Structure 1
Amino acid sequence: MTEPHFEHRIAAAVVPVGRLLVRNPFDLTPIATVNQVDQAGVEQALAIAQRLFRDRAGWLPAHQRIAILRRAAELMEERAEALALEAAREGGKPLQDSRVEVARAIDGLRNCAELPRSAGGREIPMGATAASEGRLAFTTHEPIGPVVAISAFNHPLNLAVHQVGPAVAAGCPVVIKPAEDTPLSCLRLIDLLREAGLPAGWAQALMTDSLATAEALATDPRVAFFSFIGSARVGWHLRSRLAPGTRCALEHGGAAPVIVDRDVDLDRIVPLIAKGGFYHAGQVCVSVQRVYADPEIAVPLARALAAAGAAMPVGDPSAETTAIGPLIRPAETERVHAWVQEAIAAGAELIGGGQTLSATCYAPTVLLDPPEDARVSTQEIFGPVILVYRCANRQDAIRRANALPFAFQAAVFSQNLDFALHTARQLDAAAVMVNDHTAFRVDWMPFAGLRQSGLGTGGIPYSYRDMQVEKLLVLRDDGRG
């Protein structure tokens, strides 16, 4: 059977230069092909976006943008099951979790629709000096200009909503390049927005034929705001190449730390930590990775986590019972296994897992006390691996948790309020969860990677603000009225 083919979503008759084959990461079977464009296609998309932005008389009024976003959410809700299954098939996230992703994306569009009526300007005080007397000053907001987004594979629909939705809400034309592994969900989102009434040029999507073409898209001087979700290596490189004046937000990853006090109830915390570490095969930028525990409970905790992982069915993400799906590519499975074996050879104790189950599936793995200089301890694993370390005391745990050049989300488990608050204040993190895992997120909260983990603040309302400029108006009363 021939796989379905997806055209690019550029609002012009651009001739494609190739086709990208999209595979199911579980069994590597082809599921679709997608058009690719070269720099001529990028030029067309950016020219359309720039032309729309420059025509102020043609800007979409707020009430129209609100109606479009609301209607798109309704359409997505009507097709939620099909979208969840497609996301599971292209990205490998189990169907039960892909359904949650689609529900979040629907709510995200509704969140975007609320923003134009809830975010306004402010008065700037005047009259405090003689020079400012007789003036009234206030701010308004306008779209910043063309937005370019490059997205990641691990949440193919919801991440696209986080990048495209705020741009539509703010009145910015947007061009998005989804991840090569998972373009289908993003293309569906663009189609839903257009079906909901968004003129085609205001939201375009494309797949590039090369990294050079993708870089040309991001670094073009017409780009007013660049939104990137992906690896730190690529994100920081692109930021260094941005045109003067282009603002940006970068969301990378980390090696999220968890500190566990001795007073915890393992039966209550193990399911949370296991979910936070093994969810989506660990392919989440804030997955639980490093767990620092009191020596009295470290070994029982590690064994309980291994048992929890062993009880999670690994396999076909489209199956109802699957809890952990594949890694996105065979090379990632090989890399994770190499890192685990390297840590074991250097002295880590394997508590559970530690083996490949197929070309793309890896067993949920728990290691006890891997060396602090091992790659599993110093780099983002992005696989279903949880590390447990015995720590002499709380200060030792905090020191080790803060030792890496990443800082994103962290967690503390304790029934002692003083322990929890003191530890949370000492952790280098943009967010600290108390008695919850590091991967907790709702889409309206700030979501910020610090240090090498990113730049700027994600979250739908925060991206919306980034995609606007605050314009000051000063009215002078000359006293003749």
Structure 2
Amino acid sequence: MSNLLQVKQAYTGEVLKELKMHDGNQVDQMLTTAQTLHHQGALPVYERVNILRKLADLVANEHEQFSQLIANEGGKPIRDARVEVTRAVGGIHIAIAEIQTSQGTEIPMDLSAAGSGRKAFTILEPIGVVVAVSAFNHPLNLAIHQVIPAVATGCPVIIKPAALTPLSTLRLAELILEAGLPAGWVQVALTNRENSEKLVTDSRVAFFSFIGSSKVGWYLKSKLAPGVRCALEHGGVAPLIFDQYADEEGFVSGVVKASMYHSGQVCVSVQRVYVPQNRASELAQKIADIAAKQVVGDAVNEDSDLGPLILPKETDRIESWVNEAVEQGAQVLTGGKRINDVSYEPTVLLNPSKKSKVSTHEIFGPVVCVYGYQNIDEAISEANSLDVSFQAAVFSDDISKAMDIAKRLEASAVMINDYTTFRVDWMPFAGRKHSGYGIGGIGYSMKDMLEHKMLVVKG
């Protein structure tokens, strides 16, 4: 088996770089290094803050280089890749603000005679070694969300980036070193599945951060050493309920962006749109008319609205799922065919079977399904019918009705008159049911990476 990892341009397949993989002994040494640093103690907060400030400037100075890297290795259209880099810089500043205000609390002791004569307060300590396994679809910003909270809280961190998109993470790690963080506090593991599992399940790990498929995430959680905290971020089959909304033109354009962004390879991409039965065909066709105009091509091209899918096998899978849906009665309003090995047409399906894979599984492709519903109760029931539950959306000019629908939707977040893809990096971000465990978001991850210690003083 080759110990070389080839990183390829997502659209052309051209080899961008060959990287040497780490073996089991090297992974074990990474853990030893991280554990040793944790035992030696974290840098003072002011030093971490200064390092992060310098890092933010360094990343900002390479804004276009990172954007090109994201587009090339991950296939995200260059315009969207630039947004990702801007978010990444902002994420570093969020961590700076969070660590500067992080503090313990006083615990009152004289609430009863038993505690009288004592003073108590909590302090916050780094939890220990953090191991992160990341995903391909946001190769820089996901690394920011998993690595920077650890740096800010004083935890040594080992990150395993997606094998298809490691270059952004590797460059970020180089800049962290350049910003002044001593060697060993951030390590990047390039290794196979077997060694990755050994890394994650080692007893020296204190916190595990995972972004990826539910099958892998739940499996790894089941193998964690006793006492290891974790946060899992999986996908969903995001529902959107349309009631009535004055700006239908804006709504339709937004649906296209929210379902086709990064060719649908987003964990909260709009996939199921529920529309009143008497409007379903009309609105679905309007969505299709705009979707049909989307430019699909190499992500580095300035005019590309959609880039490639991450692998040819994903194109095969999406083609199979759409074909199945058509055989089971779905109407194709636009798209429905592959363009090449790594590209699929923006596709709008009307009323696919509720049992089709496009209705029950995260498609992670440029496909959106529109369903007609008889009443709101039916729409809510269908939206809640799956074992995945992440972000959801409702569009209605009747705010009372929208609030009622939002309360009844089984979701960790409901966007009212906005799309399931909405996210800012300081908000909580989490899946329910099979969609995840724990809470993401930079500040929330930082809280998970800190432990409270109570000190009680008598006399």
Give the TM-score range, shorter chain: over 0.9
Match runs of 1:224-239 below 5 Å: 224-239=206-221
Determine the C-alpha separation between the residues in 2 that align with 1:228 and 1:290.
Answer: 25
> Which residue matches 2:229?
247
Corresponding position: 1:27 with 2:15: no
Question: What one-letter code is carried by the residue in structure 1 that aligns with 2:352?
Answer: P
Match of 1:192 among 175, 178, 191: 175
Determine the C-alpha separation between the residues in 2 that align with 1:312 and 1:385.
Answer: 13
Alpha carbons 1:17, 1:35 under 8 Å: kept: no
Question: What one-letter code is carried by the residue in structure 2 that aligns with 1:377?
Answer: S
TM-score relative to the length of structure 1: 0.94
Deviations 1:448-479 (A, max 9, x none): 111100000000000000011011111111xx
* Per-residue deviation, 1:355: 0.6
Match of 2:448 among 458, 462, 466: 466
Determine the C-alpha separation between the residues in 2 that align with 1:277 and 1:473.
Answer: 51
Determine the C-alpha separation between the residues in 2 that align with 1:261 and 1:469.
Answer: 45
> Which residue matches 1:374?
356
Determine the C-alpha separation between the residues in 2 that align with 1:308 and 1:27.
Answer: 27
* Per-residue deviation, 1:34: 1.4
Match of 1:146 among 116, 129, 135: 129
Match runs of 1:382-401 below 5 Å: 382-401=364-383
Determine the C-alpha separation between the residues in 2 that align with 1:144 and 1:337.
Answer: 45
* Per-residue deviation, 1:382: 0.4
Question: What one-letter code is carried by the residue in structure 2 that aligns with 1:395?
Answer: D
Determine the C-alpha separation between the residues in 2 that align with 1:48 and 1:269.
Answer: 52
- What is the root-mean-square deviation of aligned Cα atoms in Å? 1.0
Determine the C-alpha separation between the residues in 2 that align with 1:380 and 1:258.
Answer: 14
My pick for the range that moved more, 312-321 or 116-125, is 116-125
Alpha carbons 2:232, 2:436 under 8 Å: kept: yes
Alpha carbons 2:244, 2:395 under 8 Å: kept: no
Alpha carbons 1:443, 1:459 under 8 Å: kept: yes
Determine the C-alpha separation between the residues in 1 that align with 2:302 and 2:131.
Answer: 36
Determine the C-alpha separation between the residues in 2 that align with 1:408 and 1:223.
Answer: 27
Determine the C-alpha separation between the residues in 1 that align with 2:290 and 2:447.
Answer: 41
Determine the C-alpha separation between the residues in 1 that align with 2:8 and 2:283.
Answer: 37
The share of aligned pairs that are identical, in percent, is 51
* Per-residue deviation, 1:307: 1.3
> Which residue matches 2:312?
330
Corresponding position: 1:136 with 2:82: no
Alpha carbons 2:389, 2:432 under 8 Å: kept: yes
> Which residue matches 1:312?
294
> Which residue matches 1:52?
37
Question: What one-letter code is carried by the residue in structure 2 that aligns with 1:88?
Answer: A
Alpha carbons 1:17, 1:37 under 8 Å: kept: no
Determine the C-alpha separation between the residues in 1 that align with 2:284 and 2:105.
Answer: 52
> Which residue matches 1:287?
269
Question: What one-letter code is carried by the residue in structure 2 that aligns with 1:35?
Answer: K
Corresponding position: 1:363 with 2:363: no
Match of 1:36 among 18, 21, 25: 21
Determine the C-alpha separation between the residues in 2 that align with 1:231 and 1:420.
Answer: 31
Determine the C-alpha separation between the residues in 2 that align with 1:306 and 1:125.
Answer: 61
Question: What one-letter code is carried by the residue in structure 2 that aligns with 1:423?
Answer: I
> Which residue matches 1:68?
51
Q: Secondary structure at the match of 2:244?
A: coil
Unaligned runs of 5+ in 2: none
Match runs of 1:108-119 below 5 Å: 108-119=91-102
* Per-residue deviation, 1:265: 3.1
* Per-residue deviation, 1:262: 3.3
Alpha carbons 2:71, 2:299 under 8 Å: kept: yes
Question: What one-letter code is carried by the residue in structure 1 that aligns with 2:44?
Answer: P
Determine the C-alpha separation between the residues in 2 that align with 1:346 and 1:110.
Answer: 50
* Per-residue deviation, 1:366: 0.5
Alpha carbons 1:365, 1:384 under 8 Å: kept: yes
